[in-house]
Structure 1
Amino acid sequence: MSSFMSFKSPFTRLILILSSVVAFGALAIDMYLPALPVMAIDLAATSAQLQLSLSVFFAGFCIGMLIYGPLSDYFGRRKLLLSGIALFAVSSLMCAFVNDVQHLLILRGFQALGCGACVVMARAATRDIFPPAQLPSMMSKMSLVTMTAPLLAPSIGAVCLMIAGWRFIFVVLAVFASGAFYFVYRDVPETHQPDKSQGLHVFGVLRSYWALLTWDNVTLMMLMACAMSGMFAFISGAPFVYTQLLGFTELEFALLFGSNIIAMSLVTTLNLNLLKQFSAQKLMVYQASVLAFAGLVLVVLTPYGRWIIPFVVLYVAHVNALCANGMAILLHRHDRQQAGSVTALAVSLQFATAAVSTVLVSMFSHRPAFAMTGVMLVFAMVACACAWMQKEPAK
């Protein structure tokens, strides 16, 4: 194993490896969504039971992050990261061979636990490796991959479904995880030496989480969670709104979906350049304000059909850069010994809130377009309010 210092030079390779691990969550959540109707028939299950598999994953994912975060601060990152990837890979492969929904639910729970470890460990390792001054740009590069994943995942899942059926989706997830395991094992050293000075017990973990719940931290975590939740509201509502209400073909929908990825890449690149001149705090406030503006215009233009599309792109394009800046600020506030815990708390809140946003969109499915844009607006307004509450960090 090469030393840590010798590993620091290939920044691009390192970010790609860690980003691929962080992307597990989005891929596992969104890739199999196009296959849910087919899975319901094949497993003799109801749609409600298949939707429960998504809820089980969200629950296991958040629990896994909250457990693995303090463990990584105590035991170190590398072994837990490798164990999480292995658990995710094995569970994904076993999902491909289930014959009933009960076993699917159990395996999705284990898959989520492994996924939670991966997401926490990869982000915490980034905090360990890079100095505070480089965190915003590194988080932007990482988030470009991780935020692109939920936009691409449904299309990848649909292709897998057409090629070899729904079981192939889980095989692809297992293969992807196995590849990530190889590169992490080969190239990622231990970035945080075990720190057992604080001890490890339930009440100690709870106290460490409680200590992180300051006003500034909570509002910053809510800012990132609401920004991501607005994007998930779009992801959950767009397939029906674009194809059924706006009349786009599947190919046109795929192209329009891809335009969000292109716009996100452009805004992220712009964010990287602007970080050389402005603080992450100032950029984050601007980006949250753009979300609020786009959300308001979306609701106003919803009755006019296709006029919403440019403002959907504007909205989604800024989510990645905003969350990257927010995570960099949050990690900068805490030392490396707390990186696992603070990352677990922030990301678990993001996905828990994202789950709420998808439920809200489904609750108002009798007016799907307004449900999608309305939920996007609500979360954007909360994100904007939280952004303006943040204090400029001391230099």
Structure 2
Amino acid sequence: MIGPFTTDMYLPAFSAIAEGLDTLVPEVGYSLSSYFAGICIGQLIHGPLIDRFGRRNPLLIFLSLYIIMSLACSWTNSIEGLIIFRFFQAFAGSCGMVVNRAVVRDLFPPGETAKVFSKLILVMGVAPIIAPTVGGFVVEDWGWRAVFWVLASIGAVVLAAVIWSLPESKAPDKSVSLRLPAVMRNYGKTLANPLFIPFVIAGAMNTGGLFAYISGSSYVYIDLYGLDVKTFGWIFGGNAACFILGSQINRIFLKYSQSHKVVIPMVAFQLLNGIILAFMVYQGTITLPIMIVLIGFYTLCLGMVGPNALALALSPFTENVGVASAALGSVQMGMGALASALVSLFAGGSALSMAAVMAGATAIGLIGLIFGVRMIRRTEWMVAGT
């Protein structure tokens, strides 16, 4: 949860940071850009490291660095310092994002991973949804620097939990080379797997839809509909509850079926909600209650689709799991950043950019799923035929 929580918790503090560091809000925005750069680059580097040195020791090192960088963000007196420290904060924090997926794949067979990811949604999936609300309360009561104190405290708690409670799930492997040509070959082999790319696209687009909602919701609900911050927080919390509920409904479905058999109807229903939302916003017929209901169903589906896309993308791998997890996470966060940018760029005084990006991302994700599931079924037919 550290990566997405650190991304979003300081968003309500932009104005306060600009005032405190004697700069402009757009300049503060560069610290978000540097964070996304750090989280994408970091995951790509952490993947080979955790395949070479195991999962636990790299996680301990980079959690410690995350705490230091969080404190550095709180101590800085310049926007340039904040931009630099945010990059390294993201670089360090992204290790946990890679490790959690790799550990699940280490410990559970492919048929069980989607259920485990659904359980993990209770923590890591809700983080980007509740983080802005938590950040708003922290900034209002204690100031913007306190956001980074809270993040450092979270990092310390997680570090302690890893030290005391997380055993190693994969022994160090000296056969894994960290030389650049070998690393590039491993990434190339991962990307060449025919089952990987379709489900990576599906997972990335699911993340894109989530970030489109996160980046546009405060503007839509507060600026366009005139809701106060507390009411917005309740709506945001309701969507978090829908997200969690979806992940737990997915666990029930997986007791009776497999990920690739249930995920397409899920994402099709998600797309339907996105299309209706975008169409009604475009026509100007949307009302606040209808918007809340449609987005609630959309976030419900986000919680159902995400664990299955993750599990299906990692299912072909027993080696280079860290590399596969890193590639998956980097593409997901990159798509999240792109979706956020598109929503902000085309806001234009309405909710259309948010709704359109949500629907468009889901449509592309559905195409990726269809191709991936067809490949799985073709493989099943070939096996049955032999």
Give me the TM-score of the superposition, normalised by structure 1: 0.91
CA–CA distance in structure 2, aligned partners of residues 289 and 201 of structure 1:
43
Q: Which residue of 2 aligns with 1:86?
A: 64
Aligned pair count reads 372
The residue type paired with residue 369 of structure 2 is: A
Larger deviation, residues 271-280 vs 245-254: 245-254
The residue type paired with residue 254 of structure 2 is: L
The residue type paired with residue 375 of structure 1 is: V
| 3-state SS in 2 of match to 1:203 | helix
1:323 aligns with 2:301: no
Q: Deviation digits for residues 223-276 of structure 1, max 9, x if unmatched?
A: 111111111111111101111212322222111111112212222221111101
Q: Deviation digits for residues 99-135 of structure 1, max 9, x if unmatched?
A: 0111111111110111121211122112112233321
Q: Which residue of 2 aligns with 1:279?
A: 258
CA–CA distance in structure 2, aligned partners of residues 253 and 102 of structure 1:
32
Which residue of 96, 111, 128 maps to 1:118?
A: 96
1:268 aligns with 2:251: no
| 3-state SS in 1 of match to 2:168 | coil
Q: Deviation digits for residues 128-180 of structure 1, max 9, x if unmatched?
A: 12233321111111123212111110111011112210000000000110011
CA contact (8 A) 1:246 1:305 kept: no
Q: Which residue of 2 aligns with 1:59?
A: 37
CA–CA distance in structure 1, aligned partners of residues 90 and 271 of structure 2:
32
Q: Which residue of 2 aligns with 1:7?
A: none
Which structure 2 residues correspond to residues 19-58 of structure 1 after superposition, within 5 A? 23-58=1-36
Which residue of 230, 238, 246 maps to 1:259?
A: 238
Which structure 2 residues correspond to residues 108-257 of structure 1 after superposition, within 5 A? 108-214=86-192, 215-257=194-236
The residue type paired with residue 143 of structure 1 is: I
The residue type paired with residue 312 of structure 1 is: I
CA–CA distance in structure 2, aligned partners of residues 272 and 224 of structure 1:
17
Larger deviation, residues 354-363 vs 306-315: 306-315
Identity of aligned residues (%): 31
CA–CA distance in structure 2, aligned partners of residues 163 and 217 of structure 1:
45
Give me the TM-score of the superposition, normalised by structure 2: 0.93
| 3-state SS in 1 of match to 2:171 | coil
Q: Which residue of 1 aligns with 2:335?
A: 353
CA–CA distance in structure 2, aligned partners of residues 265 and 369 of structure 1:
24
Larger deviation, residues 193-202 vs 38-47: 193-202
The residue type paired with residue 348 of structure 2 is: H
CA–CA distance in structure 1, aligned partners of residues 224 and 280 of structure 2:
14
Q: Which residue of 2 aligns with 1:340?
A: 322
CA contact (8 A) 1:219 1:390 kept: yes
RMSD across aligned positions (CA): 1.3
Which residues of structure 1 form unaligned runs of 5+? 1-22
